[in-house]
Amino acid sequence: CSSTVGREGGRQRVVLGTPCLQHLGRMQHELLHTLGFYHEQQRPDRDKFVRINWNNIKQGNCKYHDFMRLNPGRKMHPDLPYDYDSVLHYPKHAFAVDPTVPSIATPNGEKIGQRIRMSKLDVKRVQLLYGEETSNQEE
């Protein structure tokens, strides 16, 4: 499962293999990338909400850059709260060298990395960027 963030010109390649097709949240994760959304743990203000354990992330992994904080100039709707429940947030042990140690630590044990469906704030971000016509998710 993979996609580039936003349209880069020409054809946009979105890879949705069998694991993605079996989980709505995984498909939503990749499709949100195509719409221009980055991972929640990449927010410029993320250090106020999570701690990245760089020593426990596999070096040379192609996903290493997904832990890098974005430049503050990147608009990610900073007026919205940090979303631990976002379908775009990596789980605590993502790409961990030692799977018993979190690669992303949360201050109060908040659950992160769900792939069930878009969170309410995910939906709100899409609405803010693309308009209010997006359908509401079920409660």
89 is an annotated ligand-binding site residue: no
DSSP labels, 46-112: GGGT-EE-GGGBPTT-TTGGGGSPPPTTS-S-TTSPP-TT-TTSPPTTTTBSSTTS-SEE-TT----
118/77 Cα distance (integer angstroms): 16
Give the pair of three-digit tokens for residue 90.
């990596």
Q: Please, are residues 70 and 42 in contact by the beta-carbon 8 Å criterion? A: yes
Q: Is 132 a catalytic residue?
A: no
Q: How far apart are the first and last CA of the chain?
A: 27
**Which of 24, 61, 59, 40 lies closest to 104 in space, CA to CA?**
40
Of the residues 30, 40, 132, 138, only one is catalytic, namely 30
* Binding-site residues from annotation: 29, 33, 39
Active-site residue list = 30
Q: Which residues are annotated as a binding site for Zn(2+)?
A: 29, 33, 39
